[in-house]
Amino acid sequence: MNIDNFIIIKGGLCKDIKKALQQWIALYSKDLVRNIKLELYGLGQERYLIVADKRLNNEKFNYLINYLRYPEGIEYNISVEGYATVRDEKIYPQNLLNKKILVYLSDNDKEYDNVFVTTEDNETYKIDFNGKVSRVYESKTFSIPDIDTNLLQKPERIALTKREITDVENEKLKKSITNRFRIILALIIITVAINSSSLFINPNSEISSDTTFILVFFVAIWFHWDYKMLRIDKYYSYSIIIAILHLAYGHFIREYFSDVDTFLYYGFYFPILYLIIQKPVRLFFIRKFNREPIVEPHPPLLDGLYGISILLFTVGIISVIAMFT
């Protein structure tokens, strides 16, 4: 078989292999050559052949082998072996240049951020993704599988447009947001349970004051920090419900436990007011600049002003509420 940059996979379902390839393209889309294509062939009996673009360099080929073995959000049990020619002297030692190599993942590896390479001379190396190359001794023999390319049926070409890449990234983002949302909501519920129990037992205890402080600021920080969550209508609606219940709980403890600090009490207003202000300001920003605002450390000037304006408006309204109540 006279093909460079190809991969043999044993095990798994075709739809999962395809999904893993699409996710990998989306993950490295900014670093890959334009219009890169991967061809996926079925070889029967849960065996697959992937012919990668010849323009794919050794580094990205190694990343592809690793990702196919450990794809995000896909559960399968497969073996992956890639075949390439050493071209990149930044990754490989000088003595390996232009040699054929077998790239694989060792069953003994527990680090998950590397690949193993056996050369045509049956020398094996471990290639860490941090740049370290070390000679290892494994019973892996270099051999090229005997596949008659003339018998291969028409492949499925895996290539993503910008829109498809965005869709893959959004799907991945939604999964991470869903998992994070469940974890944070569970933590909030646990904190409320601890806080309410401690208030009834001893309103002046450190547990009461500490958990009240956590409830006030944690929910507010969550909504501001997890700004990508608020772009999804479903989670924005969930956040509104949480913020309303959060404020109602603040009124409850204020009503029945007069020792609650006034400053903390008005902090319960922050999440709902923040959400009410954030939505129209965000939509205005999108219409004006044709993109989503960024709320991260060291954002661009306009995005920084966007974030600061929402915080200032929220604090200002809370101050007015405090003056008249």
Q: What is the pLDDT of residues 127-139, one digit of tens each?
A: 898 878 888 888 8
- Verify that 170 and 156 share a domain, yes or no: no
- Verify that 238 and 133 share a domain, yes or no: no
- Verify that 145 and 47 share a domain, yes or no: yes
Q: Is 173 helix (H, G, I), strand (E, B) or coil?
A: helix
- Could you give the number of structural domains in the chain? 2
pLDDT (0 to 100) of residue 274:
95
**Does residue 38 belong to any structural domain of this protein?**
yes
**Does residue 1 belong to any structural domain of this protein?**
no
pLDDT (0 to 100) of residue 23:
87
- Verify that 124 and 20 share a domain, yes or no: yes
| pLDDT (tens digit per residue) in 179-224 | 999 999 999 999 999 988 888 888 777 888 888 888 888 998 999 8
Helix 14-27 × helix 162-201 angle, to 10°:
90
Give me the domain span that covers residue 293.
163-323
**pTM as predicted:** 0.62
Phi–psi pair at 44, nearest 5 degrees: 85, 155
Q: Are the CB atoms for 30 and 38 separated by under 8 Å?
A: no
**Does residue 82 belong to any structural domain of this protein?**
yes
Q: Which of 283, 288, 297, 317 is nearest to 224 (CA)?
A: 297
pLDDT (0 to 100) of residue 258:
62
Residue 254 — pLDDT band, cuts 50, 70, 90? confident
- Verify that 271 and 291 share a domain, yes or no: yes
pLDDT (0 to 100) of residue 67:
92
User: What separation in angstroms does the CA of 258 have from each of 129, 261, 316?
Assistant: 58, 8, 25
- Verify that 255 and 239 share a domain, yes or no: yes
| pLDDT (tens digit per residue) in 281-298 | 999 999 988 888 888 777
**Does residue 273 belong to any structural domain of this protein?**
yes
**Does residue 288 belong to any structural domain of this protein?**
yes
| pLDDT (tens digit per residue) in 76-128 | 989 999 999 998 888 888 888 899 999 999 887 788 889 999 999 999 999 89
- Verify that 263 and 184 share a domain, yes or no: yes
CB neighbours of 266 closer than 8 A, spacing ≥ 6? 318, 321, 322
**Does residue 194 belong to any structural domain of this protein?**
yes
Where among 160, 187, 218 does a domain terminate? 160
- Verify that 62 and 170 share a domain, yes or no: no
- Verify that 186 and 125 share a domain, yes or no: no
Name beta bridge partners: 285: none
Q: Which residue has the tokens 């860490």?
A: 128
- Verify that 155 and 169 share a domain, yes or no: no
Where among 127, 160, 193 does a domain terminate? 160
CB neighbours of 302 closer than 8 A, spacing ≥ 6? 285, 289, 293
- Verify that 291 and 188 share a domain, yes or no: yes
Q: Is 255 helix (H, G, I), strand (E, B) or coil?
A: helix
Name beta bridge partners: 81: 8, 104
Where among 126, 160, 194 does a domain terminate? 160
Q: Which residue has the tokens 């999964």?
A: 175
- Verify that 125 and 241 share a domain, yes or no: no
